[in-house]
Amino acid sequence: MTSQEMIALCKKHTLYTWAAQDAVDPLAIASAKGVYLYTVDGQRILDFNSQLMSVLIGHGHPRVIAAMQKQMETLIYCYPQTATEPRAKLGKVLSELLPGDIDSFFFTTGGAEANENAIKIARQYTGRFKILSRYRSYHGATNATMQLTGDPRRWASEPGAPGFVRVMDPVPLEFSFGATEEEQTKNHLIYLEEMIQYEGPNQIAAFFIEPVTGTNGVLIPPKGWLAGVRALTRKYGILLVCDEVMAGFGRTGKWFSFEHGGLVGDQAPDIVTMAKGLTSSYVPLGAMGVSAAIADYMRSHVFSGGLTYNSHPLAMACAVSVLEVMKDEKMVENAAAMESVMRREMDRLTARHQSVKEARAIGLFGMFDLRKNGTGGPPHGRPGEMIAPYNGAHPAMGKLGKFFRDEGLFTFMRWSSFSAIPPLSITEEQLCEGFAIVDRGLDITDAVFEG
């Protein structure tokens, strides 16, 4: 098929996500290898977003393909009540990887289902109904996870199921609660505890957080916040659920992003949800990991969850192989090492381009925020208004997106921000290739900077 034929048929017979269908302008992709995508028309594109922040080991890794081929020749599918070797292996590997006593896993087909099951099990285990989450969050597009989600993607699903309570983030959108990170943490935890009182501490089953928030801006929590939340949830018997769907599996330079806040050993979360990087998106797979206390409870209580594709052998084998590759090729270590290159390039571009409000990174998880005005300097990033309003657009952002596409850089544009979230296999040279395109693109937003 030509790219035009592909696009026409895809648009005629399939629905695209989060869009009015006439506005969709898909790239026609023929193949992908390593950190590059190749279009049907022969353009090479640097994948600066790991597709949906999920292809962590890079595209088409031969070892994983071989492992999947081997599994396909032996056993592609059998029903969830069976035992299989890849399922046995993956459970064990994950129990060794996750901190604390998170040793028991339920496998789903993606992140939303992992969170759905976490809501279910948290309610059953605690006997409580309410669920807390943050406004600047995304947890999935199913019915309940849309209510967990704080960002505007939730609005079209409202009114949703009752029992979901959203809280403010530790750092508000454009201001700050205090001069230092410690003050921000202290003040926010005061508000959080007060909210818990208003909602009724013994009504709240769980608090869901992305320990480093993803699509809502690569938000790195202020110092002490994660530990403070752990202490507060323990104080009131509220389960802490860490959604590691996007930030997990090395993205931030550690296996799990909550490790940056010291949530390991006896401070580990009660439930961890995962997906995306678990198979590097080679096949759909999500997982919910639960603590020993919850796993023990489920030994004598019915777990009311099920999926035809639970513990799908092909997905299990794929995940085992992906995790081996990540360890053997030291990809988490590479993400940690590349953070300094990310920061160096981001600082360089911030100094060169007035329209950059802030550029931040943790590991290979990076985000640029652009501004339309503002003079002066830190302490809280550069002052000035975001180039587009919250949930809004600006023509220069559209132009910038088109520039990246024409120049062969695949990234994720949202409101005033765009991401730098490449596969963990990326080299310094390839990263610089991406930032060189970003450098030229930022002239577009500089041109509309009002001063």
Using CB under 6 A, list all residues that contact ligand PLP.
Answer: 110-112, 115, 138-140, 210, 214-215, 243, 245-246, 275, 286
Q: Which two tokens stand for residue 381?
A: 């990033």
Residue 4's φ and ψ, nearest 5 degrees, are -65, -40
Give the nearer residue to ligand PLP in terms of CB position, either 49 or 84. 49
By C-beta, is 215 or 445 nearer to ligand PLP?
A: 215
| DSSP three-state, residue 356 | strand
Q: Least distance to ligand PLP from the beta carbon of 422, Å?
A: 17
CB of 417 to ligand PLP, least distance (A): 15
Q: Quick one: 111 or 441, whose CB is closer to ligand PLP? A: 111
Distance separating alpha carbons of residues 208 and 140, to the nearest angstrom:
12
> Which of 261, 286 has the CB closer to ligand PLP?
286
Question: Residue 317's closest CA among 149, 72, 16, 52?
Answer: 72
Find the shortest distance in angstroms from Cβ 52 to ligand PLP.
6
Q: CB 45 → ligand PLP: shortest distance, Å?
A: 21
- Nearest approach in angstroms of CB 442 to ligand PLP is 26
C-alpha of 374 from chain center: 30
Closest CB 117 distance from ligand PLP, rounded Å:
12
Q: Are 315 and 307 in contact (CB under 8 A)?
A: no
Q: Which is nearer to ligand PLP, 142 or 187 (CB)?
A: 142
Peptide bond into 423 cis (omega under 30): no
DSSP state letters, 32-85: EEBTEEEETT--EEEETTHHHHT-TT-BT-HHHHHHHHHHHHH-S---TTS--H
Select 68 or 275, whichever has its Cβ closest to ligand PLP: 275
User: Which pair of structure tokens corresponds to residue 204?
Assistant: 């709240």
How far apart are CB 444 and ligand PLP at their closest, in Å?
27
Buried b (16+ CB within 10 A) or exposed e, 289-308: bbbeebbeeeeeeeeeeeee
Closest CB to ligand PLP among residues 208, 368: 208
Q: Which residues lie below 8 Å from residue 35, measured CB to CB, with a gap of 6+?
A: 46, 47, 58, 59, 422, 423, 425, 426, 430
Judged by CB, which is closer to ligand PLP: 58, or 214? 214
CA 109 to chain centre: 16
- Tokens 């084998």, residue located: 317
* Closest separation in Å from C-beta 261 to ligand PLP: 16
Residue closest to ligand PLP, measured at CB: 111
C-alpha 375/C-alpha 211 separation (Å) is 32
Q: 3-class DSSP state for residue 21?
A: helix
Shortest reach from residue 157's CB to ligand PLP, in Å? 14
Which residue's CB is nearer to ligand PLP, number 160 or number 383?
Answer: 160
Residue 264: closest CA among 288, 296, 240: 240
User: At closest approach, how far in Å is the CB of 245 from ligand PLP?
Assistant: 3
Cβ 214 to ligand PLP shortest distance, Å: 5
Q: Which is nearer to ligand PLP, 35 or 245 (CB)?
A: 245
Shorter beta-carbon distance to ligand PLP: residue 250 or 286: 286
* Under 8 Å between Cβ of 308 and 82: no
Packed helices 428-446 and 395-407: angle between N→C axes, nearest 10 degrees: 150
Least Å distance, CB 269 to ligand PLP, is 14
Question: Quick one: 219 or 268, whose CB is closer to ligand PLP?
Answer: 219
Please count the other Cβ atoms lying within 10 Å of the Cβ belonging to residue 44. 10
User: In terms of C-beta density within 10 A (0-12 exposed, 13-18 middle, 19 or more buried), how is residue 15 classed?
Assistant: exposed
- Dist CA 140 CA 111 (whole Å): 7
Cα 365 from Cα 361, distance rounded (Å): 5
